[in-house]
C-alpha cells in the first residue's frame, strides 16, 4: 500500500507541474491536469486510509505502566489468534 501511495503522490505532482505549460498553450484545458491532480490526491488519501494500522510495541521511552499495558494487549491478541 505504501508503494501505491507514493505512485499516486508522484502522479499528482506531475499533474500539478503540467498545469503551467498546458495553461500557456491551451488556456482552459489546464483544468484537465488540475482535475487529475485532485483525483490522484484523493486516491493517495484513500490508499492511506485503507492501510493497516500499526500495532503498539513496548519501548524504552514509555513508562513501565505503558509497557505493561502494551504487553498485555499483545498477549491477549496472540491468545485470540491461537
0.75 cut: is pTM over it? Answer: no
What pLDDT sits at residue 35?
Answer: 95
What's the pLDDT band for 70 if we cut at 50, 70, 90?
confident
- The CA distance from 39 to 13, in Å, is 12
What's the pLDDT band for 42 if we cut at 50, 70, 90?
very high
What's the pLDDT band for 73 if we cut at 50, 70, 90?
confident
Tell me the C-alpha to C-alpha distance, in Å, between residue 56 and each of 28, 36, 72, 73: 49, 36, 11, 9
Amino acid at each position: 500500500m505504501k508503494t501505491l501511495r507514493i505512485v499516486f503522490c508522484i502522479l499528482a505532482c506531475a499533474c500539478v507541474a503540467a498545469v503551467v505549460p498546458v495553461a500557456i498553450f491551451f488556456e482552459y484545458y489546464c483544468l484537465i491536469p488540475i482535475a487529475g491532480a485532485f483525483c490522484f490526491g484523493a486516491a493517495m488519501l484513500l490508499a492511506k486510509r485503507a492501510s493497516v494500522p500499526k500495532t503498539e510495541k513496548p519501548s524504552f521511552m514509555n513508562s513501565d505502566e505503558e509497557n505493561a499495558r502494551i504487553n498485555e494487549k499483545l498477549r491477549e491478541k496472540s491468545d485470540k489468534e491461537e
